[in-house]
Structure 1
């Protein structure tokens, strides 16, 4: 639309501009024609005065060209135009003057042939014609006609020029109006399209947000049949797939929980029977029980207790991240104080807390398990508990806390730094010290479920420092589900 309007306006401006140029060209040609006539008159007068043929050169040159130039000038003017009649009248006057001047030039030549000293009009037959100023009168009329032609053309050109300026101004005004109108319509259309697309994208963002928060049953209805529709269909399929996958995962988790509890009950029942039977044997035989048999029975009960602890540790490991516990505000100092009191430390064994410990929002039970396992390990494996020291450290950044549990125990060879976090792996003989090899595996699993990491720095004879990170922000529902934690309503 803008292009069409501008094209039409440009054509109007171009037409007016062409009219101005044509008028200027017409005036220029008329002026040139008039100058040629004046040059012919000057040559004619010079010849009449001095009789020198050389001064007639402009006269004859003009005579050869003027008839054609008159015709060309008339061809550029409409027949109905008054200027056409004016040029035609001027041509007739010129022809009268041409006949007059030819007559006098011929008589001048004849007079000079008879008398080489002839001057001016002496001895010329039509001397009276020249002295009557007939030629001058004709040329004056020619001058008047050319002057009138130029005035008329100038006046007409001024009108056309004014029209040109008006058309240019009109073109600018209309072009600005049409352009602004087009921009306004374009902006309105762009706004409409943007809002339409934004609304559809917001629907998809809403679906993505709902998926991120754990709602996989929502769907988007989009019938536009374009690329965004394909994206909406993909999101719907993704939500359905994730929903189906988590439902299967939850069913399998339920089955695993049921299996774990059944196995725990079935395994612990005969173990308790074995322990009871060993005690009955001791009670029945009393003092008649040989010492080596009594030692064997004690060893058997010790192995039974180890087996019970091992089963409990496996169940604890399986439960990590599988049951939902509410996040709560935790004072880490109070939590550590409770853990230290519950461990019943031997005399001389110290747990030193730093000046600053944070208060955070997280899963209290899991954080307590981590600290309890690390501190109890430091106590259990210390070669001289009476002089044992455990130092708790803490530093924080924008996203997480970094805790450390350092002891002055016997240390750990770097060769075993990765091995100690593997389930059932211990660094001492099981008969030397009761250990299931599950505690650090539970710690590693809890920390990683919280999005953190854990590692140990140690060398033999130089103590050990366990360092783990803990996120400042509680895990979202989706993060818990992705890490294997089920919603509370799904617990078995």
Structure 2
């Protein structure tokens, strides 16, 4: 009898502890029968709605105060309870009603509990307040939209006068060609070339600012086909520089197609730009399976990069050479880094001066498409 009494005391103590935890947690938690009847709700959920337990216990969950925000909300909940009753874990964001008909957003879960016969005998509904996160997300989207509009307007307002400079300088050279000396022609060339470089800088800055998850679609991509498209777009410079591009077998990836195209385009043009003057450029593109990632490599036989500069080359506006030696904006590799990070990967380089370079980057395999 003593053992039985001790056992009962232990059970009662465990029950008291469970009840204390159940009612003191900040999350909204309860228990449902498989048909959606609410059998228990913790104090946080009850007090949030300004209710008494008798107002909701024994009722169908979708008929309770929290869900009376709309018929669509109630119907969605009912359908999701049916899914949970079949053994499925359900999670989604939803707006619910609180006291005095105030509204807030929660991250809501329905977790089925199984008996020894693997049958669902109960469902745990659980909600966490995420209104601050939702508000911050909305504000961020608004700021991104505002930034996008701003960059587009600035791009147009900056490029228009540059176009005028180029056009009028060209007209000036054509109209007064006979009376211009070499010095004047040189000045005109500098003005037109400066306007062209500034226009290119604006375009690349605009592309850099637009690379984000907003309005981007992750999709399944055939890497080999995409690289064929990139090679075709670079056909002129590949022929001019007598470039050999060797591409190994490449996998299908889940990625943002336009961004990956920019990534490969920048890396290939970078290899061509920094090729040796006395040797035809050879560019090799390959990929290996690295468990949770695809690891791509773009190798060349170019001039190489000093080890002390391996990290700084991925910084915005970073340049290792003068514009006279190699033309560029210092944005290309920074754009590559931003694209790779958008795909939850990393980018780095293995290189030595006069020994070529190999750029590596990883792309996570399981990105939600």
Q: TM-score range by the shorter chain?
A: 0.5 to 0.7
Q: Distance in 2 between matches of 1:438 and 1:295?
A: 28
State the secondary structure of the residue aligned to 1:305: helix
Which residue does the alignment assign to 1:62?
none
Structure with greater proportional helix content: 1
Choose which of 176, 179, 202 in structure 2 pairs with 1:311: 202
Question: What's the CA shift for 1:209?
Answer: 3.6
Q: 1:386 to 1:251 in 2, by over 3 A?
A: same
User: Kindly tell me: are residues 347 and 255 of structure 1, through their superposed partners in 2, closer, same or farther at Cα, counting changes over 3 Å?
Assistant: closer
Task: Tell me, yes or no, if the aligned pair for 1:349 and 1:385 is still in contact at 8 Å.
Answer: no
Matching residue within 275, 285, 294 for 1:401: 294
C-alpha displacement of 1:372: 0.8
Q: Is the 8 A contact 1:379 1:385 kept in 2?
A: no
Partner residue in 1 for 2:63: none
Is 2:146 aligned against 1:252? no
Matches within 5 A, 1:440-455: 440-455=333-348
Q: Is the 1:450–1:475 Cα contact (8 Å) retained in structure 2?
A: no
Aligned CA-pair RMSD = 3.6
- Between the aligned partners of 2:213 and 2:291, the Cα distance in structure 1 is 28
Deviations 1:255-300 (A, max 9, x none): 1111111111111111111111211211221211111111111121
Equivalent residue number for residue 368 of structure 1: 261
Please give the alpha-carbon distance, in whole angstroms, between the structure 2 residues aligned to 1:392 and 1:304.
35
Please tell me whether the aligned partners of residues 452 and 468 of structure 1 are also in contact (alpha carbons under 8 angstroms).
yes
Q: Which runs of 5+ in 2 are unaligned?
A: 23-28, 33-40, 43-79, 95-103, 110-124
1:432 and 1:347 map into 2 onto residues whose CA distance is: 17
Question: How far has the Cα of 1:357 moved from its partner?
Answer: 1.1
Give CA deviations for 1:10-69 in whole Å, capped at 9, x if unaligned: xxxxxxxxxxxxxxxxxxxxxxxxxxxxxxxxxxxxxxxxxxxxxxxxxxxxxxxxxxxx
Q: 3-state DSSP class of the match of 1:457?
A: strand
TM-aligned CA distance change 1:254 to 1:208, over 3 Å:
farther
Paired position in structure 1 for 2:105: 217
Matched ranges for 1:39-438 at <5 A: 199=32, 209-211=91-93, 217-218=105-106, 235-236=128-129, 239-344=130-235, 345=238, 346=240, 348-354=242-248, 356-384=249-277, 387-438=280-331
How many angstroms does 1:217 deviate by? 3.4
Question: Using a 3 Å threshold, how does the CA distance of structure 1 residues 347 and 302 change in structure 2: closer, same or farther?
Answer: closer
DSSP 3-state at the match of 2:319: coil
Task: Tell which has more relative contact order, 1 or 2 (C-alpha 8 A, sep 6+).
Answer: 1
Q: Which residue of 2 aligns with 1:15?
A: none
Q: Say if 1:450 and 1:471, in contact at 8 Å, map to a contact too.
A: yes
1:164 aligns to what?
Answer: none
SS in 2 for 1:362: strand
Indicate the SS of the match to 1:437: coil
Distance 1:336 1:262 in 2: 32
Q: CA deviation digits over 1:440-484, x for unaligned, max 9? A: 0000011011110000111100001100001111246xxxxxxxx
User: Matched residue pairs, number?
Assistant: 278
